[in-house]
Chains A and B, each alone.
Chain A
Amino acid sequence: MDSKPDPVPRRSLLTGSLTVGIVATVGAIFYPVAMFLRPRKATSTGAAEVVAPYRVNDLKPDANGRWPAPFNFNGKPCLLIRADDEVRAFNAICTHTECTVEYVPEKGVIFCACHNGVYDVEGRNVSGPPPRPLEMYKVTLRGQPGQEDIIVSRNT
Protein backbone atom coordinates (compact mmCIF):
# COMPACT_ATOMS: atom_id res chain seq x y z
CA MET A 1 0.00 0.00 0.00
CA ASP A 2 1.23 3.44 -0.92
CA SER A 3 1.66 5.59 2.17
CA LYS A 4 2.68 8.87 0.50
CA PRO A 5 0.81 11.83 2.02
CA ASP A 6 -1.61 13.68 -0.29
CA PRO A 7 0.19 16.50 -2.10
CA VAL A 8 -2.96 18.60 -1.55
CA PRO A 9 -4.86 17.75 1.61
CA ARG A 10 -8.39 16.73 0.75
CA ARG A 11 -10.11 19.28 2.99
CA SER A 12 -8.23 22.29 1.67
CA LEU A 13 -8.91 21.15 -1.90
CA LEU A 14 -12.63 20.97 -1.12
CA THR A 15 -12.87 24.30 0.67
CA GLY A 16 -10.69 25.89 -2.01
CA SER A 17 -12.90 24.75 -4.86
CA LEU A 18 -16.02 25.73 -2.89
CA THR A 19 -14.62 29.23 -2.37
CA VAL A 20 -13.74 29.55 -6.06
CA GLY A 21 -17.25 28.43 -6.95
CA ILE A 22 -18.91 30.91 -4.60
CA VAL A 23 -16.72 33.80 -5.76
CA ALA A 24 -17.40 32.96 -9.40
CA THR A 25 -21.15 32.79 -8.76
CA VAL A 26 -21.20 36.10 -6.93
CA GLY A 27 -19.21 37.66 -9.77
CA ALA A 28 -21.51 36.16 -12.40
CA ILE A 29 -24.49 37.72 -10.62
CA PHE A 30 -23.11 41.12 -9.69
CA TYR A 31 -21.28 41.91 -12.92
CA PRO A 32 -24.46 41.83 -15.09
CA VAL A 33 -26.40 43.71 -12.41
CA ALA A 34 -23.75 46.44 -12.22
CA MET A 35 -23.72 46.75 -16.01
CA PHE A 36 -27.53 46.79 -16.07
CA LEU A 37 -27.59 49.70 -13.64
CA ARG A 38 -25.29 51.83 -15.84
CA PRO A 39 -27.30 54.54 -17.64
CA ARG A 40 -27.69 53.96 -21.35
CA LYS A 41 -26.70 57.26 -22.96
CA ALA A 42 -23.64 59.19 -21.93
CA THR A 43 -24.55 62.74 -20.88
CA SER A 44 -23.62 65.05 -23.73
CA THR A 45 -20.23 66.63 -23.44
CA GLY A 46 -17.93 68.32 -25.88
CA ALA A 47 -18.57 70.95 -28.47
CA ALA A 48 -22.08 72.22 -29.14
CA GLU A 49 -23.82 75.04 -30.98
CA VAL A 50 -27.47 75.99 -30.49
CA VAL A 51 -29.60 78.86 -31.80
CA ALA A 52 -31.41 80.38 -28.80
CA PRO A 53 -35.24 80.54 -28.90
CA TYR A 54 -34.98 84.29 -28.22
CA ARG A 55 -33.78 87.15 -30.39
CA VAL A 56 -31.84 90.08 -28.96
CA ASN A 57 -34.95 92.29 -28.67
CA ASP A 58 -36.75 89.53 -26.68
CA LEU A 59 -34.19 89.87 -23.89
CA LYS A 60 -36.20 92.09 -21.56
CA PRO A 61 -38.55 91.52 -18.64
CA ASP A 62 -42.03 90.40 -19.71
CA ALA A 63 -45.34 91.92 -18.54
CA ASN A 64 -44.93 90.20 -15.17
CA GLY A 65 -41.40 91.47 -14.81
CA ARG A 66 -39.83 88.07 -15.49
CA TRP A 67 -36.65 87.69 -17.50
CA PRO A 68 -36.73 85.10 -20.36
CA ALA A 69 -36.24 81.65 -18.80
CA PRO A 70 -33.13 79.56 -19.48
CA PHE A 71 -33.36 77.32 -22.55
CA ASN A 72 -32.07 73.84 -23.32
CA PHE A 73 -28.50 74.04 -24.47
CA ASN A 74 -27.51 70.45 -25.20
CA GLY A 75 -29.15 69.10 -22.07
CA LYS A 76 -28.16 71.95 -19.74
CA PRO A 77 -30.07 75.17 -19.03
CA CYS A 78 -28.50 78.22 -20.65
CA LEU A 79 -29.22 81.70 -19.25
CA LEU A 80 -29.04 84.70 -21.58
CA ILE A 81 -28.58 88.16 -20.11
CA ARG A 82 -28.09 91.65 -21.50
CA ALA A 83 -25.62 93.76 -19.62
CA ASP A 84 -23.11 96.45 -20.54
CA ASP A 85 -24.67 96.55 -24.08
CA GLU A 86 -23.67 92.97 -24.60
CA VAL A 87 -25.49 89.61 -24.76
CA ARG A 88 -23.92 86.98 -22.54
CA ALA A 89 -24.70 83.29 -22.15
CA PHE A 90 -24.02 81.22 -19.04
CA ASN A 91 -24.43 77.66 -18.00
CA ALA A 92 -27.32 78.36 -15.60
CA ILE A 93 -26.35 75.58 -13.20
CA CYS A 94 -25.16 77.09 -9.95
CA THR A 95 -21.66 75.97 -9.00
CA HIS A 96 -22.76 75.42 -5.41
CA THR A 97 -25.38 72.62 -5.41
CA GLU A 98 -26.56 72.64 -9.03
CA CYS A 99 -29.82 74.57 -8.80
CA THR A 100 -30.70 76.73 -11.81
CA VAL A 101 -29.92 80.42 -11.37
CA GLU A 102 -32.01 83.41 -12.55
CA TYR A 103 -31.18 86.90 -13.78
CA VAL A 104 -32.41 89.85 -11.68
CA PRO A 105 -31.99 92.83 -14.07
CA GLU A 106 -33.04 95.55 -11.65
CA LYS A 107 -30.24 94.60 -9.25
CA GLY A 108 -27.83 93.67 -12.00
CA VAL A 109 -27.03 90.26 -10.51
CA ILE A 110 -27.52 86.58 -11.24
CA PHE A 111 -29.19 84.98 -8.26
CA CYS A 112 -29.60 81.41 -7.05
CA ALA A 113 -32.73 81.02 -4.90
CA CYS A 114 -31.71 77.71 -3.29
CA HIS A 115 -28.99 79.14 -1.01
CA ASN A 116 -28.91 82.86 -1.84
CA GLY A 117 -25.89 82.60 -4.10
CA VAL A 118 -25.12 85.81 -6.00
CA TYR A 119 -23.06 86.24 -9.19
CA ASP A 120 -22.39 89.47 -11.02
CA VAL A 121 -23.27 90.05 -14.68
CA GLU A 122 -19.97 88.51 -15.76
CA GLY A 123 -20.77 85.32 -13.89
CA ARG A 124 -18.31 85.88 -11.04
CA ASN A 125 -19.40 84.55 -7.66
CA VAL A 126 -19.64 87.67 -5.50
CA SER A 127 -21.54 86.58 -2.38
CA GLY A 128 -23.15 83.58 -0.76
CA PRO A 129 -21.91 80.00 -0.96
CA PRO A 130 -21.04 79.46 -4.68
CA PRO A 131 -17.39 78.38 -4.89
CA ARG A 132 -16.71 79.18 -8.55
CA PRO A 133 -17.92 81.55 -11.30
CA LEU A 134 -20.58 80.35 -13.75
CA GLU A 135 -19.38 78.71 -16.94
CA MET A 136 -19.63 81.24 -19.78
CA TYR A 137 -20.50 80.31 -23.35
CA LYS A 138 -19.57 82.04 -26.55
CA VAL A 139 -22.30 84.22 -28.12
CA THR A 140 -22.49 85.08 -31.81
CA LEU A 141 -25.15 87.49 -33.13
CA ARG A 142 -26.42 87.22 -36.67
CA GLY A 143 -29.11 89.10 -38.57
CA GLN A 144 -30.76 92.54 -38.51
CA PRO A 145 -29.36 94.88 -35.86
CA GLY A 146 -31.62 94.95 -32.79
CA GLN A 147 -33.29 91.64 -33.55
CA GLU A 148 -30.38 89.35 -34.27
CA ASP A 149 -30.51 85.61 -33.76
CA ILE A 150 -28.40 84.52 -30.79
CA ILE A 151 -26.11 81.57 -31.44
CA VAL A 152 -24.64 80.01 -28.31
CA SER A 153 -21.64 77.74 -28.64
CA ARG A 154 -19.09 75.94 -26.57
CA ASN A 155 -15.77 74.56 -27.71
CA THR A 156 -15.11 71.77 -25.24
Chain B
Amino acid sequence: MSPATPEKLAPALPPKRGLRDFFVERLGLDGIQALMAKKRVPIHRSTPFYFLGGMALFLFGIQLVTGMLLSLYYKPSTDQAFESVQAIMTEVDFGWLVRSAHAWSANLLIGILFLHILTAYIMRAYRRPREMTWFSGMLLFFLFLAFGFSGYLLPWNQLAFFASSVGTALVGKVPFVGEQLLLWARGGENVTGETLVRFYALHVAVFPVIAFVLLGMHLYLVQKHGMSVPDAAVKKLGGKENVPSMPFVPHFLLRDMVGWYLALAILAALAALFPWELGEKADPFGSAPVGIKPEWYFLFMFQALRHLPAHIYGVEGEIAGVLFFGFCGIVAMLVPLLDRTATAGWPRRILNVLAAMAVIFFIVMTAWGLIE
Protein backbone atom coordinates (compact mmCIF):
# COMPACT_ATOMS: atom_id res chain seq x y z
CA MET B 1 0.00 0.00 0.00
CA SER B 2 1.58 3.24 -1.06
CA PRO B 3 0.43 6.60 0.28
CA ALA B 4 -1.45 8.74 -2.21
CA THR B 5 0.81 11.34 -3.68
CA PRO B 6 -0.50 14.90 -4.03
CA GLU B 7 -0.24 14.54 -7.81
CA LYS B 8 -2.74 11.70 -7.76
CA LEU B 9 -5.27 13.62 -5.69
CA ALA B 10 -5.20 16.75 -7.80
CA PRO B 11 -3.79 16.20 -11.27
CA ALA B 12 -1.87 19.21 -12.47
CA LEU B 13 -3.92 21.43 -14.78
CA PRO B 14 -2.48 21.91 -18.26
CA PRO B 15 -0.90 25.32 -18.79
CA LYS B 16 -3.34 28.17 -19.58
CA ARG B 17 -3.97 28.90 -23.23
CA GLY B 18 -6.46 30.86 -25.33
CA LEU B 19 -10.13 31.82 -24.92
CA ARG B 20 -11.32 28.68 -26.69
CA ASP B 21 -9.48 26.46 -24.22
CA PHE B 22 -10.92 28.55 -21.37
CA PHE B 23 -14.43 27.38 -22.28
CA VAL B 24 -13.46 23.87 -23.35
CA GLU B 25 -11.84 23.27 -19.99
CA ARG B 26 -14.69 24.72 -17.89
CA LEU B 27 -17.71 23.42 -19.81
CA GLY B 28 -16.33 20.01 -20.77
CA LEU B 29 -16.81 20.81 -24.44
CA ASP B 30 -14.22 18.23 -25.45
CA GLY B 31 -16.73 15.50 -24.56
CA ILE B 32 -19.31 17.03 -26.90
CA GLN B 33 -16.63 17.52 -29.53
CA ALA B 34 -15.66 13.86 -29.31
CA LEU B 35 -19.34 12.83 -29.62
CA MET B 36 -19.80 15.02 -32.68
CA ALA B 37 -16.66 13.69 -34.28
CA LYS B 38 -17.89 10.13 -33.70
CA LYS B 39 -21.33 10.58 -35.25
CA ARG B 40 -21.44 9.40 -38.84
CA VAL B 41 -24.27 9.11 -41.35
CA PRO B 42 -24.42 6.06 -43.67
CA ILE B 43 -24.46 6.75 -47.40
CA HIS B 44 -26.83 4.70 -49.55
CA ARG B 45 -29.78 5.13 -51.89
CA SER B 46 -32.18 6.14 -49.08
CA THR B 47 -29.86 8.63 -47.37
CA PRO B 48 -32.01 11.64 -48.45
CA PHE B 49 -34.77 10.36 -46.18
CA TYR B 50 -32.51 11.07 -43.20
CA PHE B 51 -33.11 14.78 -43.89
CA LEU B 52 -36.79 14.62 -42.94
CA GLY B 53 -36.22 14.49 -39.18
CA GLY B 54 -33.87 17.47 -39.25
CA MET B 55 -36.32 19.39 -41.37
CA ALA B 56 -39.12 18.69 -38.88
CA LEU B 57 -36.83 19.91 -36.11
CA PHE B 58 -36.11 23.10 -38.05
CA LEU B 59 -39.82 23.76 -38.60
CA PHE B 60 -40.45 23.16 -34.90
CA GLY B 61 -37.83 25.86 -34.21
CA ILE B 62 -39.74 28.21 -36.53
CA GLN B 63 -42.93 27.39 -34.61
CA LEU B 64 -41.24 28.31 -31.33
CA VAL B 65 -39.95 31.64 -32.60
CA THR B 66 -43.10 32.74 -34.46
CA GLY B 67 -45.28 31.45 -31.60
CA MET B 68 -43.36 33.52 -29.07
CA LEU B 69 -43.72 36.57 -31.29
CA LEU B 70 -47.47 36.04 -31.69
CA SER B 71 -47.90 35.63 -27.94
CA LEU B 72 -46.74 39.25 -27.52
CA TYR B 73 -49.98 40.50 -29.11
CA TYR B 74 -52.48 37.66 -28.74
CA LYS B 75 -55.13 37.88 -25.98
CA PRO B 76 -56.93 34.64 -25.06
CA SER B 77 -60.49 35.73 -24.26
CA THR B 78 -63.71 35.54 -26.25
CA ASP B 79 -64.05 39.29 -26.60
CA GLN B 80 -60.40 39.91 -27.46
CA ALA B 81 -59.00 36.82 -29.20
CA PHE B 82 -60.43 37.51 -32.65
CA GLU B 83 -59.77 41.24 -32.38
CA SER B 84 -56.16 40.71 -31.29
CA VAL B 85 -55.48 38.35 -34.21
CA GLN B 86 -57.16 40.86 -36.50
CA ALA B 87 -54.83 43.54 -35.12
CA ILE B 88 -51.85 41.25 -35.71
CA MET B 89 -52.96 40.80 -39.33
CA THR B 90 -53.73 44.46 -40.07
CA GLU B 91 -51.98 46.79 -37.61
CA VAL B 92 -48.77 45.19 -36.33
CA ASP B 93 -45.86 45.58 -38.75
CA PHE B 94 -45.22 42.22 -40.44
CA GLY B 95 -47.80 40.65 -38.15
CA TRP B 96 -49.48 39.04 -41.17
CA LEU B 97 -46.12 37.50 -42.08
CA VAL B 98 -45.44 36.11 -38.62
CA ARG B 99 -48.92 34.62 -38.27
CA SER B 100 -48.91 33.20 -41.80
CA ALA B 101 -45.47 31.70 -41.26
CA HIS B 102 -46.72 30.11 -38.02
CA ALA B 103 -49.78 28.60 -39.67
CA TRP B 104 -48.00 27.44 -42.82
CA SER B 105 -45.05 26.06 -40.90
CA ALA B 106 -47.44 24.05 -38.72
CA ASN B 107 -48.95 22.46 -41.83
CA LEU B 108 -45.56 21.77 -43.42
CA LEU B 109 -44.39 20.26 -40.14
CA ILE B 110 -47.30 17.81 -40.01
CA GLY B 111 -46.69 16.91 -43.66
CA ILE B 112 -42.97 16.31 -43.06
CA LEU B 113 -43.81 14.18 -40.02
CA PHE B 114 -46.14 12.00 -42.12
CA LEU B 115 -43.26 11.39 -44.55
CA HIS B 116 -40.73 10.92 -41.74
CA ILE B 117 -42.87 8.19 -40.14
CA LEU B 118 -43.65 6.56 -43.47
CA THR B 119 -39.99 6.36 -44.51
CA ALA B 120 -38.94 5.13 -41.07
CA TYR B 121 -41.58 2.43 -41.45
CA ILE B 122 -40.48 1.48 -44.97
CA MET B 123 -36.82 1.28 -43.91
CA ARG B 124 -37.84 -0.74 -40.82
CA ALA B 125 -35.87 1.70 -38.70
CA TYR B 126 -37.98 0.80 -35.64
CA ARG B 127 -36.39 -2.59 -35.00
CA ARG B 128 -34.32 -3.53 -31.98
CA PRO B 129 -32.72 -1.52 -30.38
CA ARG B 130 -34.71 1.44 -31.76
CA GLU B 131 -38.20 0.63 -30.46
CA MET B 132 -38.16 3.54 -28.01
CA THR B 133 -37.12 5.90 -30.80
CA TRP B 134 -40.25 4.88 -32.69
CA PHE B 135 -42.49 5.20 -29.61
CA SER B 136 -41.17 8.66 -28.74
CA GLY B 137 -41.52 9.68 -32.39
CA MET B 138 -45.13 8.52 -32.59
CA LEU B 139 -45.95 10.31 -29.33
CA LEU B 140 -44.37 13.44 -30.78
CA PHE B 141 -46.52 13.06 -33.88
CA PHE B 142 -49.71 12.79 -31.81
CA LEU B 143 -48.52 15.74 -29.76
CA PHE B 144 -48.05 17.84 -32.89
CA LEU B 145 -51.55 16.92 -34.04
CA ALA B 146 -52.76 18.16 -30.65
CA PHE B 147 -50.67 21.31 -31.14
CA GLY B 148 -52.44 21.87 -34.45
CA PHE B 149 -55.86 21.19 -33.02
CA SER B 150 -55.42 23.48 -30.01
CA GLY B 151 -53.83 26.25 -32.04
CA TYR B 152 -56.67 26.17 -34.56
CA LEU B 153 -59.18 27.44 -31.96
CA LEU B 154 -57.11 30.39 -30.79
CA PRO B 155 -58.18 32.97 -33.44
CA TRP B 156 -61.76 32.35 -32.26
CA ASN B 157 -63.28 32.45 -35.73
CA GLN B 158 -66.25 30.49 -37.07
CA LEU B 159 -64.16 27.66 -38.54
CA ALA B 160 -62.12 27.34 -35.37
CA PHE B 161 -65.18 27.31 -33.17
CA PHE B 162 -66.96 24.54 -35.05
CA ALA B 163 -63.79 22.51 -35.64
CA SER B 164 -63.20 22.54 -31.88
CA SER B 165 -66.84 21.65 -31.20
CA VAL B 166 -66.68 18.70 -33.58
CA GLY B 167 -63.25 17.54 -32.42
CA THR B 168 -64.10 17.62 -28.74
CA ALA B 169 -67.51 16.02 -29.41
CA LEU B 170 -65.62 13.07 -30.94
CA VAL B 171 -63.57 12.78 -27.76
CA GLY B 172 -66.92 12.61 -25.95
CA LYS B 173 -67.80 9.49 -27.95
CA VAL B 174 -65.08 7.41 -26.34
CA PRO B 175 -66.85 4.71 -24.28
CA PHE B 176 -66.96 5.04 -20.46
CA VAL B 177 -64.56 7.99 -20.05
CA GLY B 178 -65.74 10.11 -22.98
CA GLU B 179 -68.09 12.33 -21.03
CA GLN B 180 -65.43 13.20 -18.47
CA LEU B 181 -62.83 13.76 -21.21
CA LEU B 182 -65.20 16.12 -22.98
CA LEU B 183 -65.81 18.18 -19.85
CA TRP B 184 -62.10 18.20 -19.20
CA ALA B 185 -61.22 19.27 -22.75
CA ARG B 186 -63.88 21.96 -23.02
CA GLY B 187 -63.72 23.20 -19.46
CA GLY B 188 -67.50 22.88 -19.34
CA GLU B 189 -70.32 21.42 -21.38
CA ASN B 190 -69.86 23.67 -24.39
CA VAL B 191 -67.05 25.33 -26.29
CA THR B 192 -66.75 28.68 -24.51
CA GLY B 193 -64.15 31.16 -23.33
CA GLU B 194 -63.14 28.50 -20.81
CA THR B 195 -62.23 26.19 -23.68
CA LEU B 196 -60.26 28.97 -25.33
CA VAL B 197 -58.16 29.58 -22.22
CA ARG B 198 -57.59 25.85 -21.76
CA PHE B 199 -56.48 25.37 -25.34
CA TYR B 200 -54.24 28.41 -25.03
CA ALA B 201 -52.59 27.05 -21.88
CA LEU B 202 -52.08 23.66 -23.52
CA HIS B 203 -50.79 25.20 -26.74
CA VAL B 204 -48.25 27.62 -25.24
CA ALA B 205 -47.22 25.96 -21.97
CA VAL B 206 -48.15 22.32 -21.48
CA PHE B 207 -47.50 20.93 -24.96
CA PRO B 208 -44.17 22.73 -25.47
CA VAL B 209 -42.80 21.28 -22.24
CA ILE B 210 -43.94 17.77 -23.20
CA ALA B 211 -42.48 18.33 -26.66
CA PHE B 212 -39.08 19.24 -25.21
CA VAL B 213 -39.02 16.12 -23.06
CA LEU B 214 -40.05 13.79 -25.89
CA LEU B 215 -37.82 15.53 -28.41
CA GLY B 216 -34.86 15.34 -26.05
CA MET B 217 -35.47 11.63 -25.66
CA HIS B 218 -35.95 11.08 -29.40
CA LEU B 219 -32.76 12.96 -30.33
CA TYR B 220 -30.76 11.29 -27.57
CA LEU B 221 -31.84 7.87 -28.86
CA VAL B 222 -31.00 8.76 -32.46
CA GLN B 223 -27.58 9.87 -31.25
CA LYS B 224 -27.11 6.79 -29.07
CA HIS B 225 -28.09 4.16 -31.62
CA GLY B 226 -26.86 5.91 -34.75
CA MET B 227 -28.73 5.94 -38.03
CA SER B 228 -30.56 2.76 -39.00
CA VAL B 229 -29.38 1.30 -42.31
CA PRO B 230 -32.09 -0.33 -44.46
CA ASP B 231 -31.75 -4.06 -45.14
CA ALA B 232 -31.49 -3.54 -48.90
CA ALA B 233 -28.37 -1.39 -48.56
CA VAL B 234 -26.74 -3.83 -46.13
CA LYS B 235 -27.50 -6.78 -48.42
CA LYS B 236 -26.29 -5.02 -51.55
CA LEU B 237 -22.95 -4.15 -50.00
CA GLY B 238 -22.59 -7.49 -48.27
CA GLY B 239 -22.59 -6.40 -44.63
CA LYS B 240 -23.11 -3.43 -42.36
CA GLU B 241 -19.39 -2.73 -42.12
CA ASN B 242 -19.18 -2.16 -45.88
CA VAL B 243 -21.74 0.66 -45.93
CA PRO B 244 -19.88 3.92 -46.57
CA SER B 245 -20.60 6.88 -44.33
CA MET B 246 -19.87 10.58 -43.89
CA PRO B 247 -19.21 12.55 -40.72
CA PHE B 248 -22.32 14.27 -39.34
CA VAL B 249 -20.28 17.41 -38.60
CA PRO B 250 -19.81 19.14 -40.94
CA HIS B 251 -20.70 17.07 -44.00
CA PHE B 252 -24.24 15.96 -43.18
CA LEU B 253 -25.07 19.05 -41.14
CA LEU B 254 -24.25 21.32 -44.09
CA ARG B 255 -26.50 19.26 -46.34
CA ASP B 256 -29.16 19.44 -43.61
CA MET B 257 -28.86 23.20 -43.60
CA VAL B 258 -29.38 23.39 -47.34
CA GLY B 259 -32.62 21.50 -46.72
CA TRP B 260 -33.61 23.95 -43.99
CA TYR B 261 -32.84 26.86 -46.25
CA LEU B 262 -35.08 25.33 -48.89
CA ALA B 263 -37.84 24.83 -46.31
CA LEU B 264 -37.43 28.44 -45.21
CA ALA B 265 -37.74 29.62 -48.82
CA ILE B 266 -40.89 27.57 -49.40
CA LEU B 267 -42.33 28.81 -46.11
CA ALA B 268 -41.55 32.45 -46.90
CA ALA B 269 -43.10 32.11 -50.36
CA LEU B 270 -46.26 30.46 -49.00
CA ALA B 271 -46.64 33.00 -46.18
CA ALA B 272 -46.07 35.96 -48.48
CA LEU B 273 -48.22 34.78 -51.40
CA PHE B 274 -50.98 33.08 -49.45
CA PRO B 275 -51.42 34.87 -46.11
CA TRP B 276 -53.47 32.81 -43.67
CA GLU B 277 -57.15 33.75 -43.63
CA LEU B 278 -58.85 34.98 -40.49
CA GLY B 279 -62.50 34.51 -41.45
CA GLU B 280 -65.41 35.73 -39.37
CA LYS B 281 -65.57 36.02 -35.61
CA ALA B 282 -67.06 32.95 -33.90
CA ASP B 283 -70.75 33.14 -33.03
CA PRO B 284 -71.43 30.37 -30.49
CA PHE B 285 -75.18 30.64 -31.09
CA GLY B 286 -75.09 30.84 -34.89
CA SER B 287 -75.38 27.92 -37.31
CA ALA B 288 -72.32 26.14 -38.64
CA PRO B 289 -71.33 27.67 -42.00
CA VAL B 290 -71.93 25.53 -45.11
CA GLY B 291 -68.81 23.79 -46.48
CA ILE B 292 -67.05 23.71 -43.12
CA LYS B 293 -63.89 21.59 -43.12
CA PRO B 294 -61.07 20.89 -40.70
CA GLU B 295 -57.35 21.21 -41.48
CA TRP B 296 -56.23 18.84 -44.23
CA TYR B 297 -54.56 16.43 -41.81
CA PHE B 298 -57.82 15.82 -40.00
CA LEU B 299 -59.87 15.82 -43.19
CA PHE B 300 -59.70 12.04 -43.77
CA MET B 301 -61.25 11.40 -40.34
CA PHE B 302 -63.86 14.10 -40.83
CA GLN B 303 -64.78 12.75 -44.26
CA ALA B 304 -65.00 9.16 -43.06
CA LEU B 305 -67.16 10.07 -40.07
CA ARG B 306 -69.46 12.11 -42.28
CA HIS B 307 -70.19 9.12 -44.49
CA LEU B 308 -70.58 6.50 -41.81
CA PRO B 309 -74.14 5.27 -41.36
CA ALA B 310 -75.87 6.34 -38.16
CA HIS B 311 -75.58 2.80 -36.81
CA ILE B 312 -73.17 -0.04 -37.53
CA TYR B 313 -74.26 -3.39 -36.06
CA GLY B 314 -76.21 -1.55 -33.41
CA VAL B 315 -73.26 0.68 -32.46
CA GLU B 316 -73.55 4.38 -33.10
CA GLY B 317 -71.61 5.25 -36.28
CA GLU B 318 -69.47 7.91 -34.63
CA ILE B 319 -68.50 5.62 -31.77
CA ALA B 320 -67.47 2.90 -34.24
CA GLY B 321 -65.44 5.45 -36.22
CA VAL B 322 -63.68 6.89 -33.20
CA LEU B 323 -62.85 3.41 -31.92
CA PHE B 324 -61.58 2.41 -35.34
CA PHE B 325 -59.24 5.41 -35.67
CA GLY B 326 -58.08 4.95 -32.09
CA PHE B 327 -57.30 1.31 -32.86
CA CYS B 328 -55.36 2.30 -35.99
CA GLY B 329 -53.32 4.76 -33.92
CA ILE B 330 -52.49 2.05 -31.39
CA VAL B 331 -51.44 -0.39 -34.13
CA ALA B 332 -49.16 2.27 -35.67
CA MET B 333 -47.70 2.94 -32.25
CA LEU B 334 -47.01 -0.75 -31.60
CA VAL B 335 -45.38 -1.54 -34.95
CA PRO B 336 -41.98 -2.33 -33.34
CA LEU B 337 -43.61 -4.94 -31.09
CA LEU B 338 -45.61 -6.50 -33.93
CA ASP B 339 -42.69 -6.86 -36.35
CA ARG B 340 -39.81 -8.23 -34.32
CA THR B 341 -38.15 -10.69 -36.67
CA ALA B 342 -34.73 -9.89 -38.13
CA THR B 343 -35.82 -10.70 -41.68
CA ALA B 344 -39.21 -9.55 -42.88
CA GLY B 345 -41.60 -12.33 -41.88
CA TRP B 346 -45.38 -12.69 -42.11
CA PRO B 347 -46.15 -10.06 -39.42
CA ARG B 348 -44.34 -7.52 -41.54
CA ARG B 349 -46.26 -8.58 -44.64
CA ILE B 350 -49.58 -8.13 -42.84
CA LEU B 351 -48.43 -4.75 -41.56
CA ASN B 352 -47.39 -3.77 -45.09
CA VAL B 353 -50.86 -4.53 -46.40
CA LEU B 354 -52.42 -2.54 -43.55
CA ALA B 355 -50.01 0.36 -44.03
CA ALA B 356 -50.69 0.46 -47.77
CA MET B 357 -54.41 0.43 -47.08
CA ALA B 358 -54.01 3.21 -44.51
CA VAL B 359 -52.04 5.38 -46.93
CA ILE B 360 -54.54 4.81 -49.74
CA PHE B 361 -57.44 5.46 -47.34
CA PHE B 362 -55.77 8.68 -46.19
CA ILE B 363 -55.11 9.93 -49.72
CA VAL B 364 -58.54 8.99 -51.11
CA MET B 365 -60.47 10.38 -48.16
CA THR B 366 -58.44 13.60 -48.11
CA ALA B 367 -58.88 14.10 -51.84
CA TRP B 368 -62.59 13.34 -51.58
CA GLY B 369 -62.91 15.79 -48.72
CA LEU B 370 -61.08 18.47 -50.69
CA ILE B 371 -63.20 18.22 -53.84
CA GLU B 372 -66.55 17.71 -52.13
CA–CA, A36 and B95, complex, Å? 6
Q: How far is the CA of A37 from the CA of B92 in the complex (A)?
A: 8
Tell me the residues in window 10-68 of chain A with beta carbons closer than 8 Å to chain B beta carbons.
Answer: 25, 28, 32-33, 35-38, 40
Assess whether B69 is in contact with A36, with CB atoms less than 8 Å apart.
yes
Specify the chain A residue showing the minimal Cβ separation from B268: A28
**CB contact under 8 A between A32 and B92, given known A37-B72, A40-B87:** no
Instruction: Work out how many contacts link A and B, with CB atoms closer than 8 A.
Output: 25
Report the separation of the CA atoms of residues A28 and B94 in the bound assembly, to the nearest whole angstrom.
12
User: Which B residues between 59 and 116 are near A, CB-CB below 8 angstroms?
Assistant: 69, 72, 87, 91-95, 97-98
Q: Is the CB of B97 within 8 A of A32?
A: yes
Please indicate the chain A residues that have their CB under 8 angstroms from the CB of B95 in the complex. 36
Q: What are the interface flags for A69-89 relative to B under an 8 Å C-beta threshold, 1 for contact and 0 otherwise?
A: 000000000000000000000
Q: How far is the CA of A35 from the CA of B97 in the complex (A)?
A: 11
**In whole Å, how far is A17's beta carbon from the nearest beta carbon of chain B?**
14
Q: Is the CB of A36 within 8 A of B91?
A: no
* CA of A25 to CA of B261, assembled, Å: 9
Q: Given the complex, which residues of A lie within 8 Å of B91, measured CB to CB? A: 40
Instruction: Report the separation of the CA atoms of residues A38 and B92 in the bound assembly, to the nearest whole angstrom.
Output: 8
Q: Bound complex: CA of A28 vs CA of B272, how far in Å?
A: 13
In the complex, A36→B93 CA distance in Å? 5
Chain B min CB distance to A36 (Å): 5
Chain B nearest Cβ from A71, distance in angstroms: 25
- Chain B residues within an 8 Å CB radius of A40: 87, 91-92
- B355 CB to closest chain A CB (Å) equals 39
Bound CA span A32–B100, Å:
13
- A-chain residues with CB within 8 Å of residue B87 when the two chains form the complex: 40
- Residues in B neighbouring A37, C-beta threshold 8 A: 69, 72
Q: Which residues in A have their C-beta under 8 angstroms from that of B97?
A: 32, 36
Identify 12 new A-B residue pairs, CB closer than 8 A, beyond the known A36-B92, A40-B87. A25-B261, A32-B93, A32-B94, A32-B98, A33-B98, A35-B93, A35-B94, A36-B98, A37-B69, A38-B93, A40-B91, A40-B92
